[in-house]
Chain A
Amino acid sequence: MTIRKRRGAKLGVGERRAVGAGLGMLAWLVGLLWIFPIGWTVFTSFKTEQDASAQTLHQGLGLGRYGDIAHSTPGTLSLQTAFMNSLVVVVVSTLIVLLLALPAAYALAIRPIHRWRDVLFFFISTKFLPVVASIFPIYVYAEKWNLIGTRTVLIILYIAINLPLAIWMTRSFFLEVPRELIEAAEIDGTSLLNQLRSVILPIAAPGIAATALLCVIFAWNEYFYALQLNFANASTMPQWVVSNVSTRGNFLAKLSAASTIACLPVVIAGWATQKRMIRGLSMGALK
């Protein structure tokens, strides 16, 4: 195959394939290096505590630490309780976020209201107040209304912290719905709900899945509100993980095991939906 040199020096097929394979290998190398810390932590979780502290491997690998953390003393926060609490809080809050965000995004993208910029700005501005500052008023009112140590208070707060993001993202997916389809639906006289269902959602569905995943990630990993409001009851997974951190003694292997288990659900969810997430974020490619 002769290599034809044009303006800009294009490569021939053979060269291009070599470059492609080289870049592929580079991607592999970079990817593996990037997640090395995670891999190392998972590896540590199979060691004994002594080996973990000294980073040696004298005593072999095993599932001992996982056994330790799976069985908890009655009376202390167990993995099962924390998991259930997290699951309920995350699922309920994400569902309600979607329920509220979809119509809102409609009102900001499909049939935009007049002051859509101000509304979007307002939503984002709710994230400017540092969480550490708002905690005291929230604590005072939660105490007053007997919400300390309940799942409800976390659900309420997580909806509020995820809604701005959900509305921003859903709105940008709705913007990708072709104008002609909307106009056709309006000419047909379909109601808002039907428009959403039959026209908008099928196209924006991957993007909405992406948004839902982000809400799940942020809600599952949220630690500050959970600690400050649910220290005694309805504790969530992040609190369970941190309960393995001690001031007097290193329990690196146990902590690694706890971290691995705690992050596993979200990691699996992320892995399962990441393709959809990219497709969702790149709506334009469907044209």
Chain B
Amino acid sequence: MQNRWTGSVRRRRTLGVALTVAVAAIATSFVAAASGGGSRQKTISVAIVANPQMQDIARLTPSLFTKKTGIKVKYTILDEGRLRQVTTRDVGSGGKAFDAVMIGPYEAPQFGSAGLIKDLTSMAKSDKAYRYQDLIPAVRNALSAKGHLYASPFYGESSFLMYRKDVLRKNGIKLPLHPTWQRVAQVARKINSSSMAGICLRGKPGWGDLGASFTTVLNTFGGTWWSAKSNGKPDKAQVNQPAFKTALDFYAKLVQDAGEKDAANSSFNECLSQYQAGKVAMWYDATVAAGVLEASDSPVKGKNGFAFAPHYKTPSTGWLWTWALAIPRSSPDPADAWTYIAWATGPQYLKAAGSRVKGGWASIPPGTRVSTYRIPQYKRAAKSFAGITLAAMKAAPITHPGTTKRPGLPGVQYVGIPQFQDVGNRCTQLFSAVIAGSIKDTAALSQCQNIASKAIR
């Protein structure tokens, strides 16, 4: 009985403490939630992607932006996949969570045409410091619909081929500046060995992963995802056409014969690791990789050669992707949002960032403005790849990526219709399985044809 009693007293005290804590915690949380607004200083909420350049600007915002304008910026940093989910839902359902969101050229014209994000053209053109004409035309066009700019570019990339000059030289191979895919495949198979694979190509499922690389190959092999009606709407799925099969077979066989290990799981990060570790001799991927490969602490610094994205039936094939800031229609504070966007994507930030970011001049956001490529410090730091990057971005064939007319809005490595995201995801899952050897190409193609046909019904 004695134990029971002391136990009971202890229990009562514990329960009392627990209840007090609970009440206090609930009260605190309600107070905290309620005191969200009403701060004297203006604060805007921005969603950005978790890339190094974006982390840099988040770090520099208090000193370079808030100090001058008095506007605090609250960043939500997410990786690409989740950022897309969150921004799509916020923009699509009129949420008020963000004043500005980071989107790409896939979403910008679509959201803009649907009236879900604000038209930035007049604000951009009238802002002298913004220098509207300085934007790389291909980038500007990719973010516009019917001549109206809907998002301002912060970061841009195209695709090209990177290779180990020393390894190719040792094998007596010299790659031209504009190689064909057949030549690249031949070289890859020749230099492929068990210790160093010939080439690294993306294989991970996802419309932005395998989908991006593969679609550029598809384009230049004369294939396409859908044919287009005269009004720009998608007509019929073209996955069952011979050009598509040729492209898929070429890509899958090249990876199987001379590609990286664990290809079905590899995207940018994995290929980067492999290339830096000397496990692959060539790599076809985003131009921004060059900045990492030539960074001062890179193990392959100075050993890299660059060539334009390989082609076959079309003259240029490099993709075009940019991360750009847009203002949702339901943004709580659009005026301050534009002040922020004009600063973040304007030429002054690029000049200020070079001396302040950890990676130095070579890691300022590339591929958005022509003036970037005239900054002397940048030209010096990015000597080996700046020229070819700018040329690749200028040449990205966003209106005519292939040999036939495309439906939807412009785009190189994707099709500018809302259904592409889902179709691309599902089909690349199948294609990735083809690369891994777990299903046959004919099975993947017929299943993908079904998916693509159903999606546009």
Judge if A198 is at the interface, Cβ distance under 8 Å: yes
CB–CB A92/B79 < 8 A? no
Are A50 and B47 within 8 A (Cβ)? no
Flag whether B170 is at the interface (Cβ < 8 A): no
Besides A75-B58, A143-B95, A247-B269, 17 new A-B residue pairs in contact (Cβ under 8 A), listed by A number: A50-B299, A53-B277, A54-B273, A74-B72, A77-B77, A92-B25, A95-B19, A148-B97, A197-B11, A202-B7, A231-B47, A231-B78, A232-B47, A232-B98, A247-B50, A248-B52, A249-B51
Interface 9-mer from B26-34, B107-115, B137-145, B191-199: B26-34
Give A135-153 as 1s and 0s: 1 = Cβ < 8 Å from B's Cβ atoms: 0000110010000111110
- What is the total number of residues of chain B having a CB less than 8 Å from a CB of chain A? 59
Contact B86 A231 (CB under 8 A): yes
Residue of A nearest to B74 (CB): A75
Q: Report 21 cross-chain contacts, Cβ distance below 8 Å, ordered by A residue.
A: A50-B297, A53-B273, A53-B277, A91-B22, A92-B25, A92-B26, A150-B29, A151-B33, A197-B12, A197-B15, A227-B86, A228-B89, A231-B76, A231-B86, A232-B97, A232-B98, A233-B36, A242-B82, A246-B50, A249-B272, A250-B269
A73 to B, closest residue via Cβ:
B59
Task: Answer yes or no: A201 CB below 8 A from chain B CBs.
Answer: yes
Q: Most B CB atoms within 10 A — which of A54, A76, A227?
A: A76
A245 contacts chain B at the CB level, 8 A cutoff? yes
CB–CB B21/A95 < 8 A: yes
What 0/1 readout, one digit per residue, does chain A (147-164) give for beta carbons within 8 Å of chain B? 011111001000000000
Q: How far is the CB of A240 from chain B (nearest CB, A)?
A: 10
Chain B residues in 8 Å Cβ range of A107: none
A75 with B277: CB separation less than 8 A: no
CB distance from B73 to the nearest CB of A (A): 5
Determine whether A96 belongs to the interface, using a CB cutoff of 8 Å to chain B.
Answer: yes
Asked if A25 is at the interface (CB within 8 A of a chain B CB), the reply is no
Q: How far is the CB of B274 from chain A (nearest CB, A)?
A: 10
Given A92-B29, A248-B288, A249-B272, A197 and B76 contact (CB-CB distance below 8 Å): no
Q: How far is the CB of A107 from chain B (nearest CB, A)?
A: 19
Q: Flag whether A243 is at the interface (Cβ < 8 A).
A: yes
Residues on the B chain within 8 Å of A148, using CB: 95, 97
The B-contacting residues of A in range 82-107, CB under 8 angstroms, are: 88-89, 91-92, 95-96, 99
Residues of A within 8 A of B52 (CB): 246, 248-249
A234: CB under 8 A from chain B? yes
Residues of B within 8 A of A248 (CB): 51-52, 268-269, 286, 288
With A75-B58, A155-B29 known as contacts, the answer to whether A231 contacts B97 (CB < 8 A) is yes
Distance (whole angstroms) from the CB of A170 to the closest CB of chain B? 15
Query: Which of A63-84 touch B at CB < 8 Å?
Result: 73-77
Q: Which residues of B contact A198 (CB under 8 A)?
A: 4, 7-8
Q: Which residue of A lies closest to B5 (CB)?
A: A198
Find chain A residues with CB under 8 A from B79 CB: 242, 245-247
Interface, chain A (partner B; CB < 8 A): 50, 53-54, 73-77, 88-89, 91-92, 95-96, 99, 139-140, 143, 148-152, 155, 197-198, 201-202, 205, 227-228, 231-235, 242-250
Q: How many angstroms between the C-alpha atoms of A139 and B97 in the bound complex?
A: 13
User: For A143, what are the chain B residues with a Cβ–Cβ distance below 8 Å?
Assistant: 93, 95
Given A75-B72, A247-B80, are A95 and B22 neighbors across the interface (CB < 8 Å)?
yes
A151-B34 Cα distance, complex, nearest whole Å: 11
Chain A residues with CB below 8 A from B61, complex form: 73, 75
Are A75 and B62 in contact (CB-based, < 8 A)?
yes
Interface pair B33/A150, CB less than 8 Å apart? yes
Residues of A within 8 A of B267 (CB): 247
Cα A92 to Cα B21 in complex, Å, equals 8
Given contacts A198-B4, A202-B4, contact A232 B74 (CB under 8 A): yes
Chain A proximity mask over B219-240: 1 for CB below 8 Å, otherwise 0: 0000000000000000000000
- 4 closest A-B pairs by beta carbon, nearest first, are A150-B33, A95-B22, A151-B29, A247-B80
Bound form: Cα–Cα A150–B35 in Å: 11
Given contacts A73-B58, A234-B33, contact A250 B51 (CB under 8 A): no
A53-B277, A73-B59, A148-B97 as given contacts; A250 in contact with B73, CB under 8 Å: no
| Residues of chain B contacted by A228 (CB below 8 angstroms) | 85-86, 89
Bound-state CA distance A245–B15 (Å) is 41
Question: B281-292 interface mask toward A, CB cutoff 8 Å, 1 = contact, 0 = none?
Answer: 000001010001
* Least distance between B114 CB and chain A CB atoms (Å): 19
Q: Tell me the minimal C-beta distance from A139 to chain B in angstroms.
A: 7
Q: Tell me if A96 and B22 are in contact (CB < 8 A).
A: yes
Residue of A nearest to B29 (CB): A151
Name the distance in Å between B147's Cβ and chain A's nearest Cβ: 31
Pair B51/A247 contact, Cβ less than 8 Å: yes
B75 on the interface (CB 8 Å rule)?
Answer: yes
- Contact of A73 with B62 in the complex, beta carbons under 8 Å: yes
Chain B residues contacting A243 (CB-CB under 8 Å) are 50, 77-78
Q: B158 CB to closest chain A CB, in angstroms? A: 14
Nearest-neighbour CB distance to chain A for B209, whole angstroms, equals 9
Given the complex of chains A and B, what is the CA–CA distance between A77 and B74 in angstroms?
8
Chain A residue numbers with a CB within 8 Å of B26 are 92, 155
Say whether A76 contacts B4, CB under 8 Å.
no
Residues in chain A near residue B304, CB distance under 8 A: none
Interface assignment of B447: CB less than 8 Å from any CB of chain A: no
